[in-house]
Amino acid sequence: MTEAADGRGPSGGATVTDDATMRRAVGAAAVGNITEWFDFGVYGYLSTTIEAQFFPPGNPALAQLATFATFAVAFLVRPLGGLFFGPLGDKIGRTKVLAVTVILMATGTFLIGLIPSYSSIGLAAPILLVCARVLQGFSTGGEYAGAMTFIAEYSPDRRRGYFGSFLEFGTFIGYALGATVSSVLPLVSTPAFMDTWGWRIPFMVALPLGIVGVYLRTKLEETPAFQQLLDESGKREDAEAKHVVRTIFAKYWPTMLLAGGLVVTWNVTNYMLTSYMPTYLKDDRTMSANGGQAISATAAEWLQIGVLWLGVLLIPLLGRLSDKVGRKPILWVGAGGLIVLGLPMVLLLKSGSLISVLLGLVLMGLLLICFSSTCPSTLPALFPTEVRYGGLSISFNIFVSAFAGTVSLVMSALVLATGDLKWPGYYLMIAGVVGVITLLKLKETAKKPLPGSSPSLSASEDAAARAGQ
């Protein structure tokens, strides 16, 4: 249960959250991320199957670009989802909106598993695939930033980095599970089954995950920060969402740019590893034509899966560390590492040696988790409570859509057009420069209350404070 302290002792005026409620809040937020990234993992690892199922045969390179373009189309509508769901979350509350976004997202993924193939219905197949991706993108526009807001507003100030890191813990678990299921299915089924129903199974798993997410989220009370806002200002339902949007763009555009810089650096690295690398490593056509050496599809998949599970183990540890040393030192390591190691990582990846590829993937994964462990607690702390969901949703989705979600499409096009396999390295270095510029302007947010909110303590911190008074 979450309660406002009654003024007795050192915790007077603070918000106190008991540990059981905190665990339920983290689980409710993380399950949506698991659902979202389970889909990404499945889509990335079954990209060649999706090419064959949904696009005309005869031109593999064009089919690959079409597959990545279909993946990217969801990002084109994410800002619309952010504009709709974000201000709505600041108007009617976090839990209501997040219950809607998680089930919409799961439904979109489930529907992909039901679409007939190109050989059955022709051009209607890719059109229906695009429609399902649009539904996913629109709902995701309100999901991720809302989940960040939700966990941040429930977390004690001194443990926000640790609890916030579980959002990306869910991301890595979702992607790793999707990748693992997609890699194991062909090993335990026949090619004929995979071509008909086998590839559909991972997409259909998303619906039960979404139902679990709705159940968990509807069982929680509103976040302490939003409840405090309600108590101070009356019913937020009477506020106009369009007024919230106008306020965000007029008053908080410098904050949105600051958030956008972090989002670009973090998510270019994220989508480079999780979306583009599975194809890059095993694309023998492109590699052999441009002086690189591909590795087998199986090796590429399992090496990356190993790196993802390594991230699952390390993200909470770095999140806890950020509560002690601050967010910025860890973010500096990530941004600086991209600049220094961006090109060497890609040279390792295109060598064709399993050891070199593993080292390159591990380096990229370690730099990624510098952001994944800290950004979920850093970004919500940039906005005050009354515009936190909306400001974060809008800025996050605009910058992800423009610069990160298109990574696979842009990299495929650049490598195909120039014949230069080092483009992923150049792109990562540019992302690192953006991160450095952002960090020069960013203030440390660790151990501080969220803007517009009372100090927040865990039940154990409150008990210790009362015992020591």
Query: What are the DSSP calls for 329-397, one per residue?
Result: HHHHHHHHHHHHHHHHHHHHHTS--HHHHHHHHHHHHHHHHHHHTTHHHHSGGGS-GGGHHHHHHHHHH
pTM: 0.85
**pLDDT at 67 > cutoff 90:** no
* 233-277 confidence digits (pLDDT tens): 655 444 555 577 888 889 999 999 999 999 999 999 998 998 888
The strand pair at 456-458 and 15-17 is best described as parallel
Q: Residue 18: left if φ>0, alpha if ψ -120 to 50, beta else—which one?
A: beta
More confident site: 84 or 194: 84
pLDDT at 32: 78
Most confident of the ranges 31-45, 183-197, 303-317, 399-413 = 303-317
Instruction: Using pLDDT thresholds of 50, 70 and 90, give the confidence band for residue 279.
Output: confident
The pLDDT mean for the chain works out to 85
Asked whether the beta carbons of 179 and 41 are under 8 A apart, the reply is yes
Element (H, E) at 460: helix 459-467
Match 């992607």 to its residue by tokens. 175
Beta-ladder partners of 15:
4, 456
DSSP type of residue 10: G
Asked whether the beta carbons of 4 and 454 are under 8 A apart, the reply is yes
Angle, helices 94-112 vs 124-154, to 10°: value is: 150
Asked whether the beta carbons of 375 and 152 are under 8 A apart, the reply is no
Q: How many percent of the chain have pLDDT more than 90? A: 37
25-29, 228-232, 253-257: which has the minimum mean pLDDT? 228-232
pLDDT at 1: 45
Instruction: Using pLDDT thresholds of 50, 70 and 90, give the confidence band for residue 181.
Output: confident
138-147, 297-306, 445-454: which has the minimum mean pLDDT? 297-306
**pLDDT at 313 > cutoff 90:** yes
Instruction: Using pLDDT thresholds of 50, 70 and 90, give the confidence band for residue 165.
Output: very high
pLDDT at 290: 66
pLDDT at 5: 42
**pLDDT at 291 > cutoff 80:** no
DSSP type of residue 221: P
Beta-ladder partners of 467:
none
Instruction: Using pLDDT thresholds of 50, 70 and 90, give the confidence band for residue 148.
Output: very high
Beta-ladder partners of 4:
15
DSSP type of residue 234: -
* 326-344 confidence digits (pLDDT tens): 999 999 999 999 999 999 9
**pLDDT at 191 > cutoff 90:** no
Compute the distance between CA of residue 266 and CA of residue 180 in angstroms, rounded to an integer. 24
**pLDDT at 354 > cutoff 80:** yes
